[in-house]
Amino acid sequence: MSIGIGVVGTGIMGADHASTISRRVPSGFVAAVADPDASRLEAAVRGTGAGKAYTNPIDLIEDPKVEAVIVASPDQTHAELVRACLRAQKPVLCEKPLAPSPEECLGLVEQEASLGRRLITVGFMRRFDPSYRAMKSELRQGRLGAPLLFHCIHRGTRASTPATSDMIITAAAVHEIDITRWLFESEIVRCRVFNSRRQTESPIRNPQFLVLENESGVLITIEVFSSVYGYDVRGEVVCDRGTIMLSDPREILLRLDGHERRDFYDDWRPRFATAYQDQMSDWIKSITGADSEEFDGATAWDGYVAASVADACLRSTTRDQDVDIELSARPEIYS
Ligand SMILES: NC(=O)c1ccc[n+]([C@@H]2O[C@H](COP(=O)([O-])OP(=O)(O)OC[C@H]3O[C@@H](n4cnc5c(N)ncnc54)[C@H](O)[C@@H]3O)[C@@H](O)[C@H]2O)c1
């Protein structure tokens, strides 16, 4: 059985998701695409064979041939589109962030909770990355003892540089915020952002350095530095008896003319290609009921918590002090 997916927003991420479905995920097909930009819409139809193309995303969401929706439009459009998916009672995979503010995310959590079932998944795809998965499985085995520290590095190229200083946190570090909660299964309780000297001639605060603390007492350090040498995501958990690091996913090591060379990716798409694909196929399996294992995707609640921690980090930047994270009560459907 193959289900009809509607893709809203056919820019970088929407086109990538549509291509992943049509080339690599046989359990789904692209039934329709929507984008106000006619040239992107046309390219998406050509690339995926989508049966329908809409300039109004609500028309796509209401199309009976669309059984589930991917939202990959700009951040500020997410809440309204996800609300429309809930009204139509259709499963939705919404790119991160679920919405720019914790208040908007909470509104979606409450709307979903009132339906009594989970329809929203947030695209925190690192949960599906083989390296993070192996790290979590090793930590669960307990050979290393208790985790104490998690050092994260998130560097990128000029092409992947966020437009504003705040987006270094809300668009980039938010991935580490989510993966930390997923990895340690413990809530973040406090945060502090430090700013070093700015990269020479950078128009935004870059790099930024975050320190988070979780309920279990693990300290998490996150360096986010865009516009540097290449897309490079690293992580090392320090435990009682040893450490565990993410492996280096780059494919080849070149030795030539007395030098050794390994190229970095330009952005996140090749680095996390397997994660995007596995997220997509597991999401579709969770919709069709083809997978008896519990789906590991991020829920609307996870989207709300990530937005709340990111928001607290922004307040820490403004106040130059530690900020405690305060969350609303978690509705039953997310336990
Ligand atoms: N998970 C990840 O690793 C990751 C990486 C990058 C971006 N993102 C997220 O993906 C989303 C899209 O980012 P992008 O880089 O593809 O942006 P983009 O600008 O390349 O594409 C956005 C597309 O949405 C279209 N659009 C604008 N308003 C719309 C509306 N109301 N309805 C439908 N389409 C609309 C635009 O015309 C454009 O084609 C953002 O929310 C971003 O934060 C996630």
Task: Name the pTM for this structure.
Answer: 0.97
Quick one: pLDDT at residue 158? 86
- Ligand 1 centre to CA of 73 (Å) is 4
- Ligand 1 centre to CA of 10 (Å) is 7
Residue 249 predicted with pLDDT over 90: no
Residue 160 predicted with pLDDT over 90: no
Per cent of the chain over pLDDT 90 is 94
Pocket test for ligand 1, best of 73, 98, 267 (most atoms within 8 A of CB): 73
Beta carbon of 161 within 6 Å of any ligand 1 atom: no
Q: Give the chain's length.
A: 335
Beta carbon of 10 within 6 Å of any ligand 1 atom: yes
Residue 10 predicted with pLDDT over 70: yes
Mean pLDDT (whole number) for 228-232: 94
Q: Are 272 and 125 in contact (CB under 8 A)?
A: yes
Q: How confident is the model at residue 292 (pLDDT cuts 50, 70, 90)?
A: low
Quick one: pLDDT at residue 251? 79
- Ligand 1 centre to CA of 32 (Å) is 16
What average pLDDT is seen over the chain? 96
Q: How confident is the model at residue 161 (pLDDT cuts 50, 70, 90)?
A: confident
